[in-house]
Amino acid sequence: GIQVEQSPPDLILQEGANSTLRCNFSDSVNNLQWFHQNPWGQLINLFYIPSGTKQNGRLSATTVATERYSLLYISSSQTTDSGVYFCAGRTGNQFYFGTGTSLTVIP
Amino acid sequence: EAEVAQSPRYKITEKSQAVAFWCDPISGHATLYWYRQILGQGPELLVQFQDESVVDDSQLPKDRFSAERLKGVDSTLKIQPAELGDSAMYLCASSYTGGEAFFGQGTRLTVV
């Protein structure tokens, strides 16, 4: 299977700051998703983004499929953005998850 | 809005006992996944169904774990006997074939 590397592993931000999370894949994927895991453990869909750029409010994502990476941008962070962010890429039938970025936003 | 339903939300069981989890995918989703997530790690695939057929169970510990999706709709994951190392979050997801995956709320299992 493919390896999925997420960086940074941990991130602490002051409320209002911006951040960029990165996801690198060891091989090509044919689709890619970003998730936010809430404190109760549920994975919440943020973006389904095989390529290109999408925006949803304060969050946006860019996937450069030819270079096998994706970026998640969080602007004007809020305390409710805290949690773990995962990317996952599909190749063939399988989804491969990264180990996540743990984000803490302090007031 | 359609959701993936899982039950129970929490389960505490003694080691060597049997435990079962249930998942009802979003209507029309042919692909169903069971993942296990250990604290501090990313989810790992246990088994993947396409309709009622298993397409990948390479990471499923088959000596104690079993999964079925008899009518190609809802699914059950069973562990017998449970071991202390099985304590984890068990996540179910579904998707249209090759499409965006959606996750349920998960079942948090504690084996004592």
- Secondary structure (DSSP) of A43-96: EEEEEE-SSEEEEETTEEEEEEGGGTEEEEEE-S--GGG-EEEEEEEEETTEEE
User: Which of A33, A43, A100 lies at the smallest CB-CB distance from B100?
Assistant: A33
pLDDT tens readout for residues B1-27: 789 999 999 999 999 999 999 999 999
Instruction: Give yes or no for A97 touching B (CB within 8 A).
Output: yes
pLDDT tens readout for residues B69-81: 988 899 999 999 9
Query: Domains, chain B, ranges and CATH?
Result: 5-111 (2.60.40.10)
Instruction: Give yes or no for A99 touching B (CB within 8 A).
Output: yes
Asked if B93 and B102 touch (Cβ cutoff 8 Å), the reply is yes
What class has domain A4-106?
mainly beta
Cα A53 to Cα A37, A44, A49, B43, distances in angstroms: 22, 19, 7, 25
The domain ranges of chain A are: 4-106
Torsion of CA A64, A65, A66, A68, to 10 degrees: 90
pLDDT tens readout for residues A43-102: 999 999 999 999 999 999 999 999 999 999 999 999 999 999 999 998 877 889 999 999
Q: Which residue of A lies nearest to B58 if distances are taken between CA atoms?
A: A94
- The residue of A24, A43, A90, A102 whose CB has the most chain B CBs within 10 angstroms, and thus the best one to mutate to test that interface, is A43
Residue B81 distance to chain A (closest CA, Å): 25
